[in-house]
Structure 1
Amino acid sequence: MEWRTWYLDAILVPLALVMMLCYHIYLCVMVRTQPFSTVLGINTRGRKIWISAMIKENQKTNILTVQTLRNIEMGATLMATTCVLLCAGLAAVISSTYSIKKPINDAVYGAHGDIALAVKYVTILAIFIFSFFSHSLSIRFLNQVGILANIPNLDPNPSGDLFLTSEYVGELFERALLLNTVGNRLFYAGLSLMLWIFGPILVFLTVLVMVLALHHLDFVPRSKRKERQRKVDCRRASELPNGGDEDGA
């Protein structure tokens, strides 16, 4: 059957990966150029305000800061643990000799030879390993933020170190959350590629649905952006003298 030939894997799977990569490149460009049109850009701005406020009011909010960082760290730890368990499970499946493999292979569309299976499992394992690596680094930076954010009188600090400032702590916090986001997106890609075991068609359809869902979640709807811009314009107009007449006429 032609549906069992290798060209389905050679076309659909790379196309799905390129589609997801192009979407995230577009998302990064929008976050840098039009941050308030994306949920990530708005959240980044909110986190900068939050960490600055927590450091400024350290004597009053130190418990809140530690609890918030601990909650984020617990989420990253859960994701890292899940990646390790999935890698262990895939390794067990690769080394197993169960008879269930044969009926699965017989029902798979696309290539399912020894080389094809090796490529599939190595690709999936590599993505989950990189996801685990990203979450591990995120935990490391969150631990550093939890220590540095509770230094009294950080600006200026008692040692007179000009490099240890609230801006530096904010950068570490953003780096930790960026790595957490990267790890999550790699995890989503790994889950989609796990369906490659059953054929490339499922991978392509799953990635397509995932990109559409992520676009809906990552971007602010145009109607809300227009409404927000209208409120900003009205506020600016109300702050002008003589009821919004810039010329004062």
Structure 2
Amino acid sequence: MEWKKCYLDVILVPLGFVISIGYHFWLWHKVRTQPHTTIIGINGSGCRNWVRAMMKDNEKKNILVVQSLRNIIMGSTLMATTSILLCCGLAAMISSTYSVKKPLNDTIYGTHGEFIVALKYVTLLTMFLFSFFSHTLSIRFINQVTILINIPQDPMSLVTHEYVCEVLEKGFILNNVGNRLFYTGLPILLWIFGPVLVFLCSLTMVLVLYNLDFVFSSGKGKMVDVNGNNDFV
């Protein structure tokens, strides 16, 4: 019976992670090859056009630039703060001797050994730490954009709109990575209650993200950047 419980953890938990990781690799491939079928690709093209417009008429739109980027920074700051607070709570729970770390119910599927219980909390802590790391890097790049995008245009300057677009894209990519890592914490959190919930939550999350990440349209009115490119990364 104990072997059967361990068998569920060994099979269902890695399978749930493989489904999630496989989906994001496929999403990355679509963003590279067919960017305008994805929300990320369309947003990337929009950001390129936005940077060009803001730098072209910076004297009139510099306030708009700062306000727009400030809103993005506030969102990343909120996620980074939430992640590090959860990390502090998990670290306190791992180092404590309270019975909350013990199985909630012996009838829950999956093994309840001390090693597995510790692995669950450490994995969850690691996900939130990497999410915090990604969001803080995103804030760093977007803060750089708030300065670079307001630099007066000079033909000899190294700060071109292509360079500003690249810095802004790095900030957005890190923001997306931080969000996805934060979302991954939900299946791992459910692992505390059993491996079956991990698999079901991972499968459900992939279906939800698929409907949020892809554009289901006839392809009319595609958005391209000012250079005619249709790629984001």
TM-score by length of 1: 0.84
- Residue 100 of structure 1: how far off its partner (Å): 4.2
**C-alpha distance in 1, partners of 2:101/2:149?**
52
Q: CA deviation at 1:20?
A: 0.5
Distance 2:185 2:214 in 1: 23
Would the aligned equivalents of 2:124 and 2:189 in 1 still touch at CA under 8 Å?
yes
Task: Determine which structure has the larger helix proportion and give its number.
Answer: 1
2:5 — aligned with what? Answer: 5
Query: Mapping of 1:217-228 within 5 angstroms?
Result: 217-221=212-216, 224-225=217-218, 228=220
Q: In 2, Cα distance between the equivalents of 1:189 and 1:3? A: 27
Q: Secondary structure at the match of 1:151?
A: coil
Q: Retained in 1: the 8 A contact 2:103–2:112?
A: no
Distance 2:81 2:22 in 1: 28
Matched letter for residue 46 of structure 1: G
Greater shift after overlay, 191-200 or 69-78? Answer: 191-200
Equivalences for residues 8-27 of structure 1 within 5 A: 8-27=8-27
Aligned to 1:204: 199
Structure 2 unmatched runs, 5+? 224-233
Instruction: Write the distance in 1 (CA, Å) between the matches of 2:147 and 2:4.
Output: 56
Aligned to 1:95: 95
Alpha-carbon shift at residue 98 of structure 1 (Å):
2.8
Listed as ranges, the gaps of 5+ residues in structure 1 are: 233-249
Q: Which amino acid aligns with 1:38?
A: T
Report what 2:229 is aligned to: none
Summarize deviations over 1:149-207 as a string: whole Å, max 9, x none. Answer: 11122x42xxx33x321211110001000000010001100122111111111111111
Correspondence for 2:175 among 170, 173, 180 = 180
Gap change, CA 1:4 and 1:106, over 3 Å in 2: farther
Q: Does the C-alpha gap of structure 1 residues 98 and 107 become closer, same or farther in structure 2, counting only changes over 3 Å? A: farther
What SS does structure 2 have at the residue aligned with 1:106?
coil
> Which structure has more RCO (C-alpha within 8 Å, separation ≥ 6)?
2
The one-letter amino acid of 2:11's match is I
For 2:129 and 2:116, locate their aligned partners in 1 and report how far apart those are by CA, in whole Å: 20
Aligned mates of 1:103, 1:25 — CA distance in 2: 34
Taking a change above 3 Å as real, the CA distance of residues 36 and 140 of structure 1, as seen in their structure-2 partners, is same
Q: Quote the residue 1:237 is aligned against.
A: none
1:83 aligns with 2:78: no
Residue 37 of structure 1 and its aligned partner are, at CA, apart by 0.9
> Can you list the C-alpha shifts for 1:105-157, whole angstroms capped at 9, x where unaligned?
5243211111111211121111111111100100000110001111122x42x
Aligned-residue RMSD, C-alpha: 1.9
Percent identical among aligned pairs is 61
How many residues were matched structurally?
223
Which amino acid in structure 1 is aligned with residue 46 of structure 2?
G
Do structure 1's residue 192 and structure 2's residue 187 form an aligned pair? yes
* Contact 1:55 1:150 (C-alpha < 8 Å) held by counterparts: yes
Say yes or no: does 1:168 pair with 2:163.
Answer: yes
> Which secondary structure state, in structure 1, belongs to the residue aligned with residue 104 of structure 2?
helix
Q: CA separation in 2, counterparts of 1:197 and 1:183?
A: 22
Write the distance in 2 (CA, Å) between the matches of 1:170 and 1:101.
46
The residue identity in structure 1 corresponding to 2:39 is: V
CA 1:132–1:102 in structure 2 vs 1: closer, same or farther (change >3 Å)?
closer
SS in 2 for 1:29: helix
Higher mean alpha-carbon deviation, 66-75 vs 114-123, is at: 114-123
- Distance in 2 (CA, whole Å) between partners of 1:171 and 1:19 is 30
CA shift, 1:93, in A, is 1.8
